[in-house]
Amino acid sequence: MKSGVIITIPLLLYTSFVLVCVAKECTDIPTKLSSHTLRFELLQSQNETLNTELSSHHHLTPTDDAAWSTLLPRKMLKEETDDFAWTMLYRKFKDSNSPGNFLKDVSLHDVRLDPSSIHWRAQQTNLEYLLMLDVDGLAYSFRKVAGLAAPGVPYGGWEKPDSELRGHFVGHYLSATAHMWASTHNDTLKAKMSALVSALAECQQKSGTGYLSAFPSSFFDRFEAITRVWAPYYTIHKILAGLVDQYKLAGNIQALKMATGMADYFYGRVRNVIRLYSVERHYLSLNEETGGMNDVLYQIYSITRDSKYLFLAHLFDKPCFLGVLAVQADDISGFHANTHIPIVVGSQQRYEITGDLLHKEISMFFMDIVNASHSYATGGTSVKEFWQDPKRMATTLQTENEESCTTYNMLKVSRNLFRWTKEVSYADYYERALTNGVLGIQRGTQPGRMIYMLPLGQGVSKAVTYHGWGTPYDSFWCCYGTGIESFSKLGDSIYFQEDGASPALYVTQYISSSLDWKSAGLLLSQKVNPVVSWDPYMRVTFTLSSSKVGVAKESTLNLRIPVWTNAIGAKVSLNGQPLKVPTSGNFLSIKQNWKSGDQVTMELPMTIRTEAIKDDRPEYASLQAILYGPYLLVGHTSRDWSITTQAKAVNWITPIPETYNSHLVTLSQQSGNISYVLSNTNQTITMRVSPEPGTQEAVAATFRLVTTDNSKPRISGPEALIGSLVMLEPFDFPGMIVKQATDSSLTVQASSPSDKGASSFRLVSGVDGKPGSVSLTLESKKGCFVYSDLTLKQGTKLRLECGAVVTDEKFKQAASFKLNTGINQYNPMSFVMSGTQRNFVLSPLFSFRDETYNVYFSVQT
C-alpha cells in the first residue's frame, strides 16, 4: 500500500463533514482548513493527495467593498510606496478620545473565591494542572528554534515538535498563570511562570530580531506567500497575549519588553508585504486564522502609546468580516466561529481606544445575532467549529457542538458590552455561558482533563466525541489553552466598579467570594447558599466591614436582579429591613455610608422554565431545553428524548427530595480480584465489572431503595433499611422498578399496583453471614432469592432462585451482595420530569462527566 493513501477513518469522517459544510471566509482561501481539528489530522497523516486536494479547493464568497469601505480607507492605503509614505499612512489613523465612561475592572488581586463554591474547586483543579507542567517541556521547541540547548522532554499533542501550531499553548499558559497568580498568590506558580518568561527571553535574545516562537520564521514566508501553513499568527497572538498578561497582572517588565520586540518584528513583516505587494494581499492572508492579533496589539498600544502598534492593530481588523456586521447583516453562517469572535473582541478594543462608535455598534449587533439565531441553551455557539444558518439550530444537535474556545471568547464580548452599557442582559448571558458552557468542561476534579466540544445532541456524552476527554500531557488543543485561562480568571467578572467621590460597585455574578473594595475602603463578603431543587431560591448574603487601609465612605452597592427570577417574589433586606426590588433585568442600588457589620440578604425565586431551540421551522417547535434559574438541566438518558406530558403546567417536573441520596445503593459481589455490580443493562438486570464513578456504567449500577415505610424518610444510609420491604428503582429510570419476568430473570418495567408481588423484596442480612452483606428475597414467594451465578462473568443475568438449600455455601455466595452506597448520587439540583411513557432524572449539565444525556426534549402536551 502506498504511504500517500494511508489515512485514518476518523479523519475521513471529519473531512467528509468539512467538505460538505457551507463554509466561507472573506475570499478564496480553502475554508475547510479553518478547522483546527482537520488541520491537525491532515498534518499528521501521510496522505499528500488529500492534502493537495483540500489546499487547492477554492470557495469564492466575495464581499462587496461597500460593506466595509468605511472601516479602512482603501484609497489611502494604496498611497504608500516608500518609507515616508508608510510613515504618513499610520499617522493618518487618529487616536480619538476614548469614550471613557466604562465600568472599571476589579483587580483579580482583590478577589478571592470561597472554598465552599464550585468555582473555587474548579479553580483549584486548574491550579493543580498548571503546577504539574514543566518549564523545560514548555520551552523545548522555543529553545530548539533559537538554537539553544533544550533539556527535558517535549510535550505531545498540538505541542509536539512537529506540530505547526506548537507554542500556542505556551502563550495560553503565560496568560493562565498570570491570572491564576493574581487570583491565588501561589508562590510556586509565580516562580514557575517567571522562569518560563526568562527562558523565552533567552530564545528571543538569541534570535536578535525580536522574533519569538516555537516554530521558525519561515512559517511566515509561507503565510505571506498564501501557501498552506497552520495559523502562525494564531500562535503569535497567544504568546503576545501571555506576555502582556504577565506584565499587567504580575508586573513583569521583561515580558512587556519581549512583547514590544515581537510587535516591532511583525510590524516590519506586515509593512514589507504591503510595500512589495498591496494591502489587499495582506488582507488575503488574513483568511488564515490570526487569533486576536488586533486585540493584543491594541492592548500594547494602550500601554506604550506608540502609534505604530495602533496602526498594526488596525491592519488585523479583517474589514471584510467586520463589514458584514457593520451593515447589520446576519451573514455569519459558514464562517469558522473561533477565527472571527476574537476579531470582534479586537474591534471592541478599537472602540475603547479610539471612540469609534461604529465598532461599538458592530459588537452589539454581533452579540444580538449570535444570541437570537446562532446559540444554544448553554449560551454557546458553533457546530464542528462553524456557524450554521440562522434559526436552524435543531438539525445541528450532535456530539461536536459548542467549541469551548468560542464560549471563552463570547464571554469576553459580553463582558465588554456590560462594562460599556451596564445592561443586565449581558451579565445574564455571562452567567449562563459561564455556568453551562465553562464549568462542565473539566472532568470533575481531575487536573488536565478537559473537552474540546460540548455535545448537545440526543443521548450524548462528553467522553464520546471526536476528541473525547483530553490528557494532561498529550492533547494541548486550542480548547486546552482557553480552558486553563477560563479556570484561572473565574473571579474577574463578579464585580465591576465606578470610582469617584461616591464609589459604586456592580455585583454581576452571584459566586461565593470576598472583595477588597479599595476605592470605598470596604471589605465585602459574598456568600451564596448551595442551590437545591427542594428549596427554589438563590439565597445570597453580603457582609461589609471597614478595610484596614482607608476610611469607609458613602458608596453604592448595585445588585443584579436577573431576568430568570420573579421580582414580585424576590426579597432583599438591609440589616433586616426590607427594600423595594425593581423588576427583573435591572439593578437594585443601595447607597449609604456603610459600617462594619452591615448585611444585605437576597432571596431570588428560581422556577423551572422551558426554552425553545432557536429554530423557526414548525416541525421543531416542540424541541425545548429546561432551565432552573441560570442552570441548564439535562436528562439522564442514552436514547429517549421525546416526552409526552398531560399536565405541563402542573407538577410535571418535581424536585428530588434531599433524603433520596441516602436510599441509593450499589450491590456488588467479588470473584477473585474482580468486583462485579448489579446493573441495569438494556432493561435487564445483569452483573457487570464495577465501574468508575462519573460513567454511564456507574449510573446503570445505582438503584434507589423505594420503601413504603414512612417512618424512615431520613436515614443515615441504606443499611438502615435492612429488614424493610423495598423495591429497586434504577437511578435513571424514576418510576420504573426491578421485577420478576416470566422466566425468573429480572427486568426493569414501569411500576404498577397489579404486579407489586413481582417487585417487592425484603432486604435482609446476607445469607452468607458476612458483615455488610445483604440478600433480597421476593416477598410474595417465600424462599426465593435474587441470585447471580456460581461463576461470575461480565453480563451474567440475575434471576430468582427458589427452593434452594440455604445452607449450601455456593448458594449463599451467589445470593449475597455487599451493600454499598450508590456509586452515582443525585445532584442537589436534581428533578424528576414525568411523562406518559417514561420519566427522566434532570440534573445540571455542568455536573456530568461521562454519563449520557439529552439537552433538548421534544415536549408534547
Q: What per-residue confidence (pLDDT) applies to 476? A: 98
Determine the straight-line distance between the first and last CA of the chain, rounded to whole angstroms: 58
* Gap between the Cα atoms of 286 and 742, Å rounded: 69
pLDDT digits (tens, 9 = 90+) for 698-710: 999 999 999 977 6
φ/ψ of 436, rounded to 5, equals -100, -20
How many angstroms from the chain centroid is the CA of residue 54?
31
3-state DSSP call for residue 69? coil
CA distances from 711 to 40, 715, 721, 726, 775 (A): 61, 10, 11, 14, 22
- Identify the CA nearest to 476 among candidates 158, 697, 786: 158
H helices present in 619-734, as ranges: 696-700
Q: Which amino acid is at 169?
A: F
pLDDT value at 373 more than 50: yes
Q: What per-residue confidence (pLDDT) applies to 696? A: 96
pLDDT value at 8 more than 60: no
Highest-pLDDT range among 7-16, 524-533, 798-807: 524-533
Q: What per-residue confidence (pLDDT) applies to 209? A: 97
Q: How confident is the model at residue 151 (pLDDT cuts 50, 70, 90)?
A: very high
pLDDT digits (tens, 9 = 90+) for 47-92: 555 455 444 433 223 333 333 334 443 333 344 444 444 444 444 4
C-alpha cell at 380: 454557546
User: Who contacts 751 (Cβ-Cβ below 8 Å, separation ≥6)?
Assistant: 727, 729, 735, 736, 737, 759
User: Who contacts 590 (Cβ-Cβ below 8 Å, separation ≥6)?
Assistant: 556, 557, 558, 559, 574, 579, 600
* Gap between the Cα atoms of 635 and 832, Å rounded: 9
pLDDT value at 273 more than 50: yes
Rounded to 10 degrees, what is the CA torsion of 239, 364, 316, 63? Answer: 140
Per-residue pLDDT, averaged over 721-726, amounts to 93
625 in Cβ contact with 615 (< 8 Å): no
Q: What per-residue confidence (pLDDT) applies to 767? A: 93
422 in Cβ contact with 367 (< 8 Å): no
Q: What per-residue confidence (pLDDT) applies to 836? A: 78
Q: What per-residue confidence (pLDDT) applies to 553? A: 82
Rg, C-alpha atoms of the chain: 30
C-alpha cell at 559: 445588585
- Please give the helix or strand (H or E) that residue 592 lies within, else none: strand 586-593
User: Who contacts 777 (Cβ-Cβ below 8 Å, separation ≥6)?
Assistant: 761, 762, 764, 783, 784, 785, 786
Beta-bridged to residue 844, according to DSSP, are 633
Q: What per-residue confidence (pLDDT) applies to 439? A: 97
pLDDT digits (tens, 9 = 90+) for 28-44: 333 444 566 655 665 56
Q: How confident is the model at residue 810 (pLDDT cuts 50, 70, 90)?
A: confident
φ/ψ of 670, rounded to 5, equals -110, 135
Task: For cell 459580553, name the residue.
Answer: 414
Q: Which amino acid is at 329?
A: A
Q: Which CATH number fits domain 657-825: 3.20.20.105, 2.30.30.60, 2.80.10.50, 3.55.50.30?
A: 2.80.10.50
Q: How confident is the model at residue 803 (pLDDT cuts 50, 70, 90)?
A: confident
- Residue scoring higher pLDDT (713 or 433): 433
Beta-bridged to residue 853, according to DSSP, are 460, 636
Query: What topology does CATH give the domain 65-486?
Result: Glycosyltransferase (1.50.10)
* Gap between the Cα atoms of 377 and 631, Å rounded: 10
* Gap between the Cα atoms of 738 and 684, Å rounded: 9
Query: What topology does CATH give the domain 495-528+537-605?
Result: Immunoglobulin-like (2.60.40)
User: Who contacts 7 (Cβ-Cβ below 8 Å, separation ≥6)?
Assistant: 45, 46, 47, 50
> Are β-strands 504-507 and 554-561 bridged in parallel, bridged antiparallel, or unpaired?
parallel
Q: What per-residue confidence (pLDDT) applies to 49? A: 55
* Gap between the Cα atoms of 169 and 235, Å rounded: 8
Poorest-pLDDT segment among 1-10, 146-155, 358-367, 426-435: 1-10
* Gap between the Cα atoms of 368 and 224, Å rounded: 35
Rounded to 10 degrees, what is the CA torsion of 448, 449, 454, 456? Answer: -160
pLDDT digits (tens, 9 = 90+) for 291-334: 999 999 999 999 999 999 999 999 999 989 999 999 999 999 99
Residue 805 region, left (φ>0) first, then alpha (ψ -120 to 50), else beta? beta
pLDDT digits (tens, 9 = 90+) for 187-230: 999 999 999 999 999 999 999 999 999 999 999 999 999 999 99
pLDDT value at 525 more than 90: yes
pLDDT digits (tens, 9 = 90+) for 597-638: 999 999 999 999 999 999 999 999 999 999 999 999 999 997
pLDDT value at 860 more than 90: no
Q: What per-residue confidence (pLDDT) applies to 582? A: 97
pLDDT digits (tens, 9 = 90+) for 109-142: 999 999 999 999 999 999 999 999 999 999 999 9
Q: What per-residue confidence (pLDDT) applies to 264? A: 98
Q: What per-residue confidence (pLDDT) applies to 55? A: 45
* Secondary structure percentages of the chain, helix, strand, coil, to 5: 40, 20, 40
610 in Cβ contact with 628 (< 8 Å): no
525 in Cβ contact with 543 (< 8 Å): yes
Q: What angle do CA 132, 37, 224 make, to 5 degrees?
A: 100
501 in Cβ contact with 492 (< 8 Å): no
Q: What per-residue confidence (pLDDT) applies to 852? A: 96
C-alpha cell at 568: 414580585
C-alpha cell at 689: 465489572
Q: Which amino acid is at 563?
A: V
Domain definitions of the chain by residue range: 3-55, 65-486, 495-528+537-605, 611-655+830-861, 657-825
Q: What per-residue confidence (pLDDT) applies to 835? A: 84
The DSSP-derived string for 118-186 is HHHHHHHHHHHHHHHS-HHHHHHHHHHHHT----S----GGGSTT-TTTTHHHHHHHHHHHHHHHHH--
pLDDT digits (tens, 9 = 90+) for 636-678: 997 776 777 655 556 899 999 999 999 999 999 999 999 999 9
Q: What per-residue confidence (pLDDT) applies to 728? A: 96
Q: What per-residue confidence (pLDDT) applies to 639? A: 73
Per-residue pLDDT, averaged over 544-558, amounts to 84
pTM for this predicted structure: 0.90
Q: What per-residue confidence (pLDDT) applies to 88? A: 45
315 in Cβ contact with 330 (< 8 Å): no
> Are β-strands 856-860 and 623-628 bridged in parallel, bridged antiparallel, or unpaired?
antiparallel
- Please give the helix or strand (H or E) that residue 610 lies within, else none: strand 608-612
C-alpha cell at 231: 495559523
* Gap between the Cα atoms of 35 and 466, Å rounded: 13
pLDDT value at 352 more than 50: yes
C-alpha cell at 644: 409526552
Q: What per-residue confidence (pLDDT) applies to 806? A: 67
Q: What per-residue confidence (pLDDT) applies to 120? A: 98
- Identify the CA nearest to 462 among candidates 477, 451, 448, 475: 451
pLDDT digits (tens, 9 = 90+) for 405-452: 999 999 999 999 999 999 999 999 999 999 999 999 999 999 999 999
Q: What per-residue confidence (pLDDT) applies to 97? A: 55
The rounded mean pLDDT for the chain is: 88
Angle of helix 307-314 versus helix 337-354 axis, rounded to 10:
140
Q: How confident is the model at residue 520 (pLDDT cuts 50, 70, 90)?
A: very high
